[in-house]
Amino acid sequence: MENLKFSYPDTDKEALQGIDLQVPEGQCMAVLGSNGGGKSTLAKLIAGLLLPTAGRVSVFGNELSSSQNREAVAGRIGLVFQSPDEQMVATTVERELAFGPENLGLPSEEIRRRVDHLMNRFDLTEYANRSPHTLSGGEKQRLALASVLAMQPELLILDEVTSLLDPAGRQEIRNIIKELKRECTLILITQFPREALFADRLIVINDGRIVADDSPVLVFENLDKETASGIAPPLAFQLLNALNPANNPTENN
Ligand SMILES: Nc1ncnc2c1ncn2[C@@H]1O[C@H](COP(=O)(O)OP(=O)(O)OP(=O)(O)O)[C@@H](O)[C@H]1O
Ligand SMILES: [Mg+2]
């Protein structure tokens, strides 16, 4: 992304005010930031769902300004949102998983292989013939993730996928995300600072600008008034800091 700007129609405020960012292949990058800071807007621009007002965004070497280029990369980018209900299109779990691969025009044996593998991996086999809408929130989000992975995206963007789940469902999805990190380039937008800890890199976006960009530990160590805006470092991190003798010089002896 180069000087990437975006304003929604009929608004006078820029949702993104000039983003310069390079995400190398294979990286897991977490994104934290204030509400309304522009995180989801950035995700949609990278996925080609919105077009920049100014500046450039390129994915896999294709600038996403033309519809041909957006089509060329569409099947290589997966995007999962926070609310799984909006992503369900099919009448059964199995058909939901087959939907993306069918659209990619894959041979039916390959579709069968992927669907079976993902139902197994995401513990969905017993729900194969159920309607997605009868699943629990956590099960639906597992299905939403599996459906996107069925297309084997090289870049996966997860936009607050754990935020509507109960603690058990959230933990399940977090465990899956940790595995996905090894499989593709991952952009992990989250409202939970602890989820940023397992990323290689963390950026903080406030008011349409990147205000921090470093390893998660260094970002949390260096949070100041401008960059923090409501972000508290994860509890484990606060404890570690509190126990570090360098931070408690008077108790050093
Ligand atoms: N469809 C829209 N029309 C007009 N303005 C919008 C629209 N969607 C978002 N905005 C505005 O754009 C700015 C960035 O919103 P965005 O949803 O990208 O932020 P976010 O960082 O994802 O926030 P959150 O943490 O709440 O998910 C906000 O000021 C928001 O009000
Ligand atoms: Mg958002």
**81 alpha carbon – ligand 2 mean position (Å):** 9
Give me the residues of the chain with pLDDT under 50, please: 251-253
Please give the pLDDT value at position 253: 45
> For residues 177 and 156, what is the distance between their CA atoms, to the nearest angstrom?
10
Q: Ligand 1 pocket, 253 CB below 6 A?
A: no
pTM exceeding 0.85: yes
Tell me, yes or no, whether 227 lies in a domain.
Answer: no
CATH number of the domain residue 148 falls in: 3.40.50.300
pLDDT tens, position by position, 137-157? 889 999 999 999 999 999 999
Q: Report CA Rg, the chain.
A: 20
Please give the pLDDT value at position 145: 93
Q: Ligand 1 pocket, 15 CB below 6 A?
A: yes
Tell me, yes or no, whether 230 lies in a domain.
Answer: no
Mutate to test the pocket of ligand 1, among 41, 42, 162 (most ligand atoms within 8 A of CB): 41
| For ligand 1, atom 31: residue with the closest CA | 36
Tell me, yes or no, whether 223 lies in a domain.
Answer: no
Tell me, yes or no, whether 235 lies in a domain.
Answer: no
Domain hosting 194: range is 2-215
User: Which tokens is 156 given?
Assistant: 């996966």
Please give the pLDDT value at position 248: 63
**45: which residues sit within 8 A by CB, 6+ positions away?**
1, 4, 6, 16, 51, 52, 57, 64
**39 alpha carbon – ligand 2 mean position (Å):** 5
Tell me, yes or no, whether 94 lies in a domain.
Answer: yes
Tally of domains within the chain: 1
**10 alpha carbon – ligand 1 mean position (Å):** 13
Tell me, yes or no, whether 173 lies in a domain.
Answer: yes
How many C-beta neighbours within 10 Å does residue 82 have? 18
Mutate to test the pocket of ligand 1, among 4, 19, 40 (most ligand atoms within 8 A of CB): 40
Please give the pLDDT value at position 228: 67
Is the four-CA dihedral 176, 179, 185, 189 of positive or negative sign? positive
**243 alpha carbon – ligand 1 mean position (Å):** 39
Tell me, yes or no, whether 181 lies in a domain.
Answer: yes
Tell me, yes or no, whether 128 lies in a domain.
Answer: yes
pLDDT tens, position by position, 156-175? 999 999 988 889 888 988 99
What is the atom index within ligand 1 of the atom nearest the CA of 191?
A: 25
Please give the pLDDT value at position 252: 46
Q: DSSP labels for 138-165?
A: HHHHHHHHHHHHTT--SEEEEESTTTTS
